[in-house]
Amino acid sequence: MIPATLGHYRIVRSIGVGGMGEVFMADDSKLGRRVALKILPGALASDPERRGRFEREARAVAALNHPNIITIYSVEEQDTVLFLTMELVEGKTLADLLPRQGMPIEQVLQVAIPLADAIGAAHQRGITHRDLKPANVMVSDEGRVKVLDFGLAKLRDESTADVLTTSMARDRLTVEGRIMGTVAYMSPEQAGGGEVGPSSDIFSFGILAYELLTGELPFKGQGPAAVIGAILSGRHMPISDLRRGLPGGLAAVVERCLEKEPRARFQSGKDLARALRRGLAGSEIVAVVEKADSDDPARIDAPAARQQEIRFCTTSDGVSLAYSTLGAGPFIVRVLGHFTHLEMEWEWPDLRRFWEHLAERHTVVRYDGRGMGLSDPYTGDFTEETRQLDLEAVLTAVGAENTALLGISEGGWTAATYATQHTERITHLILYGAYCRGAQARPGYDAEEDRALVTLIRKGWGRDTPAFRQVFTSQFFRPDADPGLLAHFNELQRVSADAETAARYHESCHKRGDGRDLYRQLRIPTLVVHSRDDLAVSADEGRLLASLIPGAQLVLLPSGTHYFPSSTEVVTKAAGAIARFLHGSGR
């Protein structure tokens, strides 16, 4: 029996039972407030495993400070009773609130986005919840979402706890013959007793979101064993088939959470929250693009709102790459290594309009190279060989036997290399902001300045600081550029790669020498597009490219940015020039 009082806490009533013990409402007579007490039963307090898990919960939750995560006040023991004192949240759990047919989309998002933010904050602190389910998510009477019960949380870094450094105690929080967590919401790796990390929470979130939107679980079976079998198979009815009219962006987010392979899911709650916000925005955006001149035979009218489809493929050396497709028709494959993040690029209005323009008559394929954006992290050397492997993997994945390559910036070199080696597969080559001489081979190269820039990248990558912006960002934009554009560019830097990867990639590009002989070998229709006042790669490089490639066309754009379109005028001119080139030339 639990006594009526525990020290200065007066028990009011029981309010629930969790995996770690019973929870009571109590009055704190010292501070004059009402709290929640989670009590580990005395019979189990002496069990080293149960007590250890209880104390892990305390450390996990105490390390967090987030408005959507229950606040822990203290860990106490009174008369051999071990308990936590926590914030009291009065309201209902999602299990209580969930209607049989699912919730309205607006209500789901009011829960899903704060929930993703909460687990994202936990993931940033190295904490995996491991038991996300409707009963562990509460909506307070004021409408605030609160994540409960970190009783199964696993600290990724417990280096301060000596006991956990021994092989005997590296337990994965499982017991022989028993898997921790609620079966219906487990990830495949958790159900299989494997290593569990943040992506496991993402899978559980996907199940929860699926249920909130449809009223049904994606993985079902007669009994726990059958449910685990369904989860391990990965087969389920697509959410868009079960709930008609669901915005494509939102459906794509849920389905990605439910990917069987952990690396194919969002890798943290923060990434998931960002994608949810984008998915919601994407379902409502209608692109408005100025039309080209009415007498332009290749003009493209303002396209209707579109959604890219993101998938994953694997290179021959085992690297998982993210790629997207948009539109229908002959293939155009974007080749670019730096500053790529399929989702973040989609949020850049003018850049999105550019792709939507091209997708009116083509299937536009874009991909994040190894180490970039949504693709696998990469610690190896960046070489032309690895870039060719990435491009080949994407072309194979989409089945592009006859395609145009759009090589942007340093990607122009990769596109040109592929085109010379696979003339039977490439119909057209478009080089946008490209060059034939690496930085070290161009006039005016300053090795000391370049080394300083690499150091600055390692220290300031993605930070919105005046020093970094002045030295790095100013290479791409004029000082009077739209502040919102600069802010988006800085965020794109941050999410496209970590600082070390960005520095190594930068070094690999600048080590390129004189490639004029490569471009002289090209024998396919080629269009060279360059910004007239390009701050990163001089327009002289574009002119040189056009002079080297037999029959190449040259278009100079009224812009001072590198390739990032900064106005509707630039989008219209660039897309129009490419459309005229593709439909006015052939092989």
The string of pLDDT tens digits covering residues 302-343 is 333 467 888 999 999 999 999 999 988 899 999 987 778 998
581: its two tokens? 């080139």
H-assigned helices in 32-186: 42-45, 48-62, 94-97, 105-124
Residue linked to tokens 């300045």: 449
pLDDT over 70 percentage in the chain: 84
The string of pLDDT tens digits covering residues 485-495 is 777 777 777 77
Residue 34's nearest CA partner among 91, 93, 77, 87 is: 87
- Alpha carbon distance 550, 228 (integer Å): 61
What's the distance, CA 40 to chain centroid? 38
Query: How many CA atoms, within 13 angstroms, populate the side-chain half-sphere of residue 33?
Result: 10
The string of pLDDT tens digits covering residues 254-269 is 999 999 999 889 988 8
- Alpha carbon distance 341, 369 (integer Å): 9
Task: Identify which of 83-92, 225-234, 418-427 has the greatest average pLDDT.
Answer: 418-427
Residue linked to tokens 């069987």: 260
* Span 238-246, average pLDDT: 89
The string of pLDDT tens digits covering residues 39-81 is 877 666 677 876 777 677 677 777 777 888 888 888 888 877 8
- Alpha carbon distance 423, 412 (integer Å): 16
CB 130 within 8 A of CB 196: yes
- Alpha carbon distance 325, 309 (integer Å): 5
pLDDT band at 472 (very low <50, low <70, confident <90, very high): low
| pLDDT at residue 352 is higher than 60 | yes
CB 248 within 8 A of CB 283: yes
Q: All domains of the chain, ordered by start, with CATH?
A: 5-86 (3.30.200.20), 91-280 (1.10.510.10), 285-584 (3.40.50.1820)
**Other residues' Cβ atoms within 10 Å of the Cβ of residue 455:** 11
Backbone angles phi, psi at 556, to 5 degrees: -105, 130
- Alpha carbon distance 528, 547 (integer Å): 10
- Alpha carbon distance 373, 344 (integer Å): 9
Q: Catalytic site residue 540?
A: no
Find the helix packing angle between 248-257 and 198-214, rounded to 10°: 130
Residue 225's nearest CA partner among 196, 191, 259, 195 is: 191
Residue 565's nearest CA partner among 553, 578, 552 is: 578
**Which of the following is catalytic: 28, 79, 96, 131?**
131
CB 23 within 8 A of CB 36: yes
Q: Please tell me the predicted confidence (pLDDT) of residue 427.
A: 95
